[in-house]
Amino acid sequence: MSSSLIGTVGIVTGASSVSRLAVSRQARDLLDGIITVHRDLPVHRPDFAAAAAGSPTHSRIAGPGYGPEQHRAGLDRRRADIAELAAVTVELDAVDRRAADLNRRINDLLARAGQP
């Protein structure tokens, strides 16, 4: 992977003198998936005359994302998930109570062992 990265950084930097910090930043960006272009590209300018004439930019009109049945089913799934989480919370509270009881008993035993 490093050999391909070195080749890529070499292509990006080209023959120009670029500081090691700049090369390091370019390598970091490439590894993060950030690809930067270091040259001038033609800019696409929108045709304002066509837009003013009222030509639609989209050929399809978007409808609602979910129907009433899908909305109700989603809410039911959410309520079921919340109920399941509530059951987990009850179990975790019981575990916490048991751990606190064990800690109290251990402290009592240690206090008795320390007394003559």
- Higher-scoring residue by pLDDT: 111, 63: 111
In-domain check, residue 60: no
Shared-domain flag, residues 74 and 114: yes
Q: What local confidence, expressed as pLDDT, does residue 27 receive?
A: 85
pLDDT in tens, 66-83: 788 998 999 999 999 999
Instruction: Work out the pLDDT band at 3, boundaries 50, 70, 90.
Output: very low
How far is the CA of 87 from the CAs of 73, 75, 76, 90, in angstroms?
21, 19, 17, 5
CA–CA–CA angle 95, 98, 99 (5° rounding): 85
pLDDT in tens, 13-62: 455 577 888 888 888 888 888 877 666 666 677 776 666 666 555 555 55
Both structure tokens of 50: 């066509």
Measured distance CA(81)–CA(84) in Å, rounded: 5
Shared-domain flag, residues 32 and 73: no
In-domain check, residue 45: no
Q: What local confidence, expressed as pLDDT, does residue 75 receive?
A: 93
In-domain check, residue 97: yes
Counted domains in the chain: 2
**Which range of residues forms the domain containing residue 115?**
68-116
Q: What local confidence, expressed as pLDDT, does residue 30 receive?
A: 83
How far is the CA of 83 from the CAs of 62, 76, 77, 78, 92, in angstroms?
35, 11, 10, 9, 14
